[in-house]
Every structure is written in C-alpha cells, then in structure tokens.
Structure 1
Amino acid sequence: MAHKRFAQIPMSKRMRELCKEEDFAFLKSQPDQDQSSEESKLQESQTQKKLERDHRQEERQLNEQERQREIEEQKKVQCHAEKEEKWKSHVAELAVKREAIHAKLHRLREFRDFQKKVLLQDLDPGSTNETINHLLMRL
C-alpha cells in the first residue's frame, strides 16, 4: 500500500515493510462486503465455541482449585486428628507409668515398715525411733 500521506516521514525499509504487513493484516481482518452471511455465521459460531471452551476451561480450573483446597483441608484435619490421637496415647502412657510408680512407692513403704518392725523386734525395746531410722538409712 502506498503511503502518500506519510511519504515525507523518514522511515527505514524495514519499518515500511512492517507498516505494510500491519495494514494487510488489518484489511484482512475487516469483513469483506462480498462475504456471505453463512461465512459470518460460521465465524460467529466459531467465536461462540471458543468462548464456551474458554468458559469450560475456567470452570475446570476453578473446580480443580476447589478440589485442591478440599484435599488440603482434609490433610489438615487428618493431621490434627493424628496429633490428637498421639497426645491421648501419650497421656494414657503417662497415667500408666504414674500408677506403676505409685504402686512401687507403696510397696517400698510397706517394705520399710516391715523392716522397721523386724528391727524393733530384734533390738532392745529401749532403742529410740531415731536409732532405727539411722540403721534403716544405712541399709
């Protein structure tokens, strides 16, 4: 296309070629007046199909994001449940250990009382409680 209006503007050959290409692309994109209504309907249907495809793709992406979000929430809930279960088992384990320690303490006290009784019987009746405690500590 001849650029008579812009002939005075200095441009490189490459720039002139680009302008020509853009002009031709613009002219090709313009609907011809000779174009039949069928072709325009075809283009409209293709455009409509493309819009529908784009819309479906957006819906799929949103659904995928929602599914990923749900999976993450499930993982968080599952992780929380696992931690809670571990905590409960830990507390139960500590309770069992505490009971075992209390039972052991009770047996030791009973044994101490038994030792005290035996020492009282073996020793003379006049010995004091402090002497017995001292002997027990040495044992």
Structure 2
Amino acid sequence: MTHVKRFQGIPMSKSMRGLCKEEDYAFLGMSEKTTKETARVAGALGDDWRDQKEERVRRRLEREQQEKERLQEIEEGKKEKEQQWRTHVAELTSSQEKTLQDRLARLRRFREFQRKVLVEESGMEDRAASITVNQLLTRM
C-alpha cells in the first residue's frame, strides 16, 4: 500500500492503479536518484556545449579573418597586375612613338634627298623648278 500513497500524484485511472504494483513504479524511485546525477551530467554537458559553442564561434571568426585576408591579397594582386599592365602599355606606347618619330625623320630625309636629286636632274635651281619638283613629289 505504500506505493499507492507514494505515487498517488500520478494521474491514472482507478482500474489501472489496481493492476499496477510497486515494482512497476520502481523506475520512478530510481529517477529521483538519477535526477541528481542527470543534473550533474547535464551541467557537465552544458559546460561542454558552451565550450563547443565558444570553439565554433572562435573558428568562425578565424575563418572570417582568413577570408578577409584572402580577399585583401586578391585585391592587392589585382592592383599590382593593373599597375604592371599600365607600365607595360606606357613603355609600349613610348617605344611606338619613338619608332614613328624615327620613321618620320627618315621619310623627311628621303624626301629632301628626292627633292635634291630632282632639282639637280632638271638643271633648274630657281623657284619655278622647286614648285615643279614639289608637284612631282606630291604625285608620287
């Protein structure tokens, strides 16, 4: 009968109570003991969970920092390549301008040479001869 008093607070029908015996409720008595142990284990698990959460947060912050560093390195690499490209283009443009200036100077010297040869061949050294020579050179 002690089990009836002890477990009277458990909602159950009268017919069910009659069928149940103290052995059936033995696990409830053990649960008081295990509750204390469970609380202790839960506290330990809570500490473990808290530690794991802190570790996850730390790893996440670490990953974010590494990602920022990686993006910064990529950005610096892009800037460096862009600067190298600009330097290359400037050098290329400079060399092309120099080449064009050299060609222009050679063409002018050649035209002067042609003019001189035509004037000598025509035998005229006055202004009319120079106009005729210029017209001939223009046609060429």
TM-score by length of 2: 0.70
2:125 is the counterpart of 1:125:
yes
Report the alpha carbon displacement of residue 37 of structure 1 after superposing the two structures with TM.
5.6
* Separation of aligned partners in 2, 1:59 and 1:103: 66
1:20-39 equivalences under 5 Å are: 34=33, 39=38
- SS of the residue corresponding to residue 102 of structure 1 reads helix
Aligned-partner Cα distance in 2 for 1:99–1:36? 92
Deviation for aligned residue 1:129: 2.3
1:83 — aligned with what? 82
2:119 and 2:129 in contact (8 A); partners too: no
Partners of 1:60 and 1:131 lie apart in 2 by 88
**Mapped partners of 1:79, 1:41: distance in 2:** 57
1:82, distance to aligned residue in structure 2 (A): 0.7
Provide structure 2 residue ranges, at least 5 long, that are not aligned to the other structure.
1-9, 12-30
Per-residue CA deviations over 1:39-80 (Å, capped at 9, x if unaligned) read 533321221111011110111011101111110111111011
Matched to 1:67, the amino acid is: Q
Q: Deviations over 1:72-101 (max 9, x none)?
A: 111111011111111110111111111000
Amino acid at match of 2:130: N
For the residue of structure 1 that corresponds to 2:125, the secondary structure is coil
Q: Distance in 1 between matches of 2:38 and 2:106?
A: 101
- Counterpart code for 2:90: V
Corresponding residue for residue 39 of structure 2? 40
What RMSD over aligned residues (CA atoms) do the two structures have, in Å?
2.5
Secondary structure at the residue paired with 1:125? coil
- 116-125 or 33-42: bigger deviation: 33-42
Which is further off, 88-97 or 102-111?
A: 88-97
Q: Supply the distance in 1 between the matched residues of 2:61 and 2:35 (Cα, whole angstroms).
A: 39
Sequence identity (%) = 18
AA partner of residue 71 (structure 1): R
In structure 2, distance between residues paired with 1:125 and 1:66 = 84
The answer to which structure has the higher helix fraction is 2
Aligned match of 1:14: none
Distance in 2 (CA, whole Å) between partners of 1:125 and 1:90 is: 48
Matched position secondary structure for 1:122: helix
